[in-house]
Amino acid sequence: MAGDTRLAIIIPCYNEELVLSDTVNTLINVIDDLVNKNKISENSYIYLIDDGSKDTTWNIIEMFREKYGEKIKGTKFIRNYGNQKALIAGLTGAKEIGCDCVVSIDADLQQDENAIETFIDEFHKGAEIVSGIRNDRKTDSFFKKYTAIGFYKVMNILGVKIPQNHSDFRLVSRKGLEVLSHYPESGLFLRGFFHEIGLKTSYVNFNVKPRMAGCSKYNFFSLMSLALNGITSFSIVPLRIIAAIGVLTILGSIIFSVDVVLEKILFDNAPSGYATLAILLAFFGGLQLFCLGIIGEYVGQIFHEVKNRPRYIIEKEIK
Ligand code: UDP
Ligand code: MG
């Protein structure tokens, strides 16, 4: 029955003291409304994962626990591990606590919380995954907008068909959580993962709002790191491109050598040119370092995975 559905809303939080109270109050209202409409059960809850915040985020979580009891649950990481790890902790924790489906949403509520109702409707119609698709990127900075568009283009060229404009605003069913629990890799890129596993997926469009307060927790380096992790954990096409460049270079150099030898034999014309040599040397030196860098990214992935360290360490929990 629809009204029996136990929903967990998980929220990764990193230094979100400025927005968290508003967010929790809004989401409590969303839950109450869905309970009144008999779409979810009364024991649905909000699960906040404090990703090693240095401000009063955890105190706010404790304060809400006092106020709303079991409706609020929380986990605090010992340090900052990044939004993907916080989301994985939320999904894993919600599976342990018990739920029929989980919706992940950002602490700044940039994603439209009213879309959660449509997510639940899609879940009741049989979807195991419901991915939120943002209608536009008007709230993004110029830099973020174009790096994001570029990222999805590159991913598509590399054969990873993740939907464009999907962030981590999604519903995952218990079955999806079960599948996730069989993937121990520490650098899991959730957007790619939930798209790849092949469970029945629906897409719901939503409007993006500007951040209520505070600032984005992503900078140039963390965005690049997320993008590189996404690419190297889902595609080995870059390695094949390197091999293809190698083969093309060898073919080119064979043609060039034959040309040099023939010119010498037929016309006694030995090629000269310091500039040509210097340019070729610099070009191929650069190309080799670039290719090594790409291989290095994969070696880095292996390095992190092979050590098999825990994804995160939990300092405190209220469940
Ligand atoms: N976040 C996190 N750990 C981090 C960075 C971000 O848990 O190291 C959370 C953050 O609190 C928010 C969500 O991830 O709930 C998205 O972050 P933000 O809104 O800063 O990203 P943006 O909307 O600018 O992409
Ligand atoms: Mg945001």
- Per the DSSP assignment, residues forming a β-bridge with 7 are 101
Does 299 score more than 90 pLDDT? yes
Identify whether residues 170 and 263 lie together within a single domain: no
CA nearest ligand 1 atom 1, residue: 83
List the structure tokens of 9. 């809303």
Identify whether residues 211 and 260 lie together within a single domain: no
Nearest to 16 by CA among 158, 198, 302, 214: 214
Ligand nearest to the CA of residue 89, numbered in listed order: 1
CA 250 distance to own-chain centroid:
38
HSE value, Cβ hemisphere, 13 Å, CA-based, for 302: 7
Ligand 1 pocket, residue 139 CB under 6 Å:
no
Does 13 score more than 70 pLDDT? yes
Ligand 1 pocket, residue 48 CB under 6 Å:
no
Q: Which of 138, 217, 223 to mutate to test the pocket of ligand 1 (most atoms within 8 A of CB)?
A: 217
Q: Does any domain span residue 301? A: yes
How far, in Å, CA of 249 to CA of 293, rounded?
A: 18
Ligand 1 pocket, residue 13 CB under 6 Å:
yes
Yes or no: say if 88 and 176 are a contact pair by the CB < 8 Å rule.
no
Q: Does any domain span residue 224? A: no
Identify whether residues 52 and 125 lie together within a single domain: yes
- Per the DSSP assignment, residues forming a β-bridge with 172 are 102, 129
Q: Which of 103, 105, 170, 218 to mutate to test the pocket of ligand 1 (most atoms within 8 A of CB)?
A: 218
Q: Does any domain span residue 232? A: no
Does 225 score more than 70 pLDDT? yes
Identify whether residues 247 and 270 lie together within a single domain: yes
Identify whether residues 175 and 290 lie together within a single domain: no
What's 143's domain CATH number?
A: 3.90.550.10
Identify whether residues 209 and 244 lie together within a single domain: no
Identify whether residues 105 and 39 lie together within a single domain: yes
Indicate the pLDDT class of residue 260, thresholds 50, 70 and 90. confident
List the structure tokens of 15. 């230094």
CA nearest ligand 1 atom 8, residue: 82
The whole-number pLDDT of residue 108 equals: 94
pLDDT tens by residue, 97-136: 999 999 999 999 999 999 999 999 999 999 999 999 998 8
Atom of ligand 1 nearest to the CA of 87: 7
| pTM of this structure | 0.90
Q: Does any domain span residue 229? A: no
HSE value, Cβ hemisphere, 13 Å, CA-based, for 49: 29
The parent domain of residue 271 ranges over 237-307
How far does the centroid of ligand 1 lie from the alpha carbon of residue 281, in Å?
A: 44
Ligand 1 pocket, residue 86 CB under 6 Å:
yes
Q: What are phi and psi of 112, to 5 degrees?
A: -75, 110
CA nearest ligand 1 atom 19, residue: 216
CB burial string 251-278: b at 16+ within 10 A, e below: eeeeeeeeeeeeeeeeeeeeeeeeeeee
Ligand 1 pocket, residue 51 CB under 6 Å:
yes
Identify whether residues 33 and 164 lie together within a single domain: yes
Does 95 score more than 90 pLDDT? yes
What number is the average pLDDT over the span 233-245? Answer: 93
The single residue listed with the structure tokens 């340090």 is 79
Ligand nearest to the CA of residue 14, numbered in listed order: 1
- Per the DSSP assignment, residues forming a β-bridge with 50 are 13, 76
Identify whether residues 30 and 126 lie together within a single domain: yes
Identify whether residues 149 and 270 lie together within a single domain: no
Q: Which of 15, 76, 79, 83 to mutate to test the pocket of ligand 1 (most atoms within 8 A of CB)?
A: 83
Question: In total, how many domains does the chain have?
Answer: 2
Identify whether residues 62 and 198 lie together within a single domain: yes
Ligand 1 pocket, residue 168 CB under 6 Å:
no
Identify whether residues 287 and 254 lie together within a single domain: yes
